[in-house]
């Protein structure tokens, strides 16, 4: 019997799965993540674990966002979608935060930017990376001791087409 380690449930707190050292989440549930548009406090629904696309294994975290409706609700053009967690994580000993991101039906020039905040709320990011067909692997150096506690992290998708009524954003294979 062959089993893909990416399909086994991971342990949320502590950054370890049963078989993959450093695996934070490979999404068999939405867990501690949320989605927002333009950094707004207005919550966005549509976050779910789906098997439509995955970097590895069978599922990924998917945010399906109606950007036209979001623009109307916010009263401003939807120019970014953020998938993130505000739940602090132990980062001591970690050197990199890594994940795979993807976007479908969100526009031709979509980028993904991995970011993290330290315990003081100071943020760093790895810069925007163009999403190619099939997704893009992102990595952020968090080896500095100020990231012994990662207070929050996520992916900001930019370059989106605000005329899309069913834009889909994914993250998968989060490792800390």
Question: How far out from the chain centre does Cα 86 lie?
Answer: 12
Which of 8-17, 49-58, 112-121 reaches the highest mean pLDDT?
112-121
Q: What is the CA radius of gyration of the chain?
A: 16
* pLDDT of the residue at 22: 52
> Is 114:159 a contact under the CB 8 Å cutoff?
no
pLDDT tens-digit series, residues 130-172: 999 889 999 999 999 999 989 999 999 999 999 999 999 999 8
The label of the residue with tokens 């993807």 reads: 102
| Least confident segment among 39-48, 96-105, 111-120 | 39-48
Structure tokens at 122: 């100071």
The mean pLDDT of 33-44, rounded to a whole number, is 88
Put simply, whether the predicted model's pTM sits higher than 0.85 gets the answer no
Q: Is residue 38 very low, low, confident or very high in pLDDT (cuts 50, 70, 90)?
A: very high
């Amino acid at each position: 019997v062959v089993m893909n380690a990416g399909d086994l449930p991971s342990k949320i707190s502590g950054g370890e799965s049963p078989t993959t050292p450093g695996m934070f989440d490979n999404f068999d549930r939405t867990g501690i993540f949320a989605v927002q548009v333009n950094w707004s406090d207005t919550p966005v629904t549509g976050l779910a674990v789906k098997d439509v696309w995955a970097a590895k294994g069978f599922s990924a975290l998917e945010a399906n966002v109606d950007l036209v409706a979001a623009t109307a609700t916010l009263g401003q053009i939807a120019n970014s979608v953020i998938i993130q967690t505000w739940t602090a994580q132990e980062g001591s000993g970690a050197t990199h935060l890594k994940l795979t991101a993807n976007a479908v039906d969100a526009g031709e020039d979509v980028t993904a930017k991995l970011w993290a905040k330290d315990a003081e709320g100071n943020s760093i990011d790895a810069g925007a990376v163009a999403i190619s067909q099939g997704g893009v692997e992102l990595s952020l150096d968090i080896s500095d001791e100020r990231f012994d506690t990662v207070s929050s992290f996520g992916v900001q998708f930019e370059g989106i087409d605000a005329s899309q009524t069913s834009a889909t954003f994914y993250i998968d294979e989060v490792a800390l």
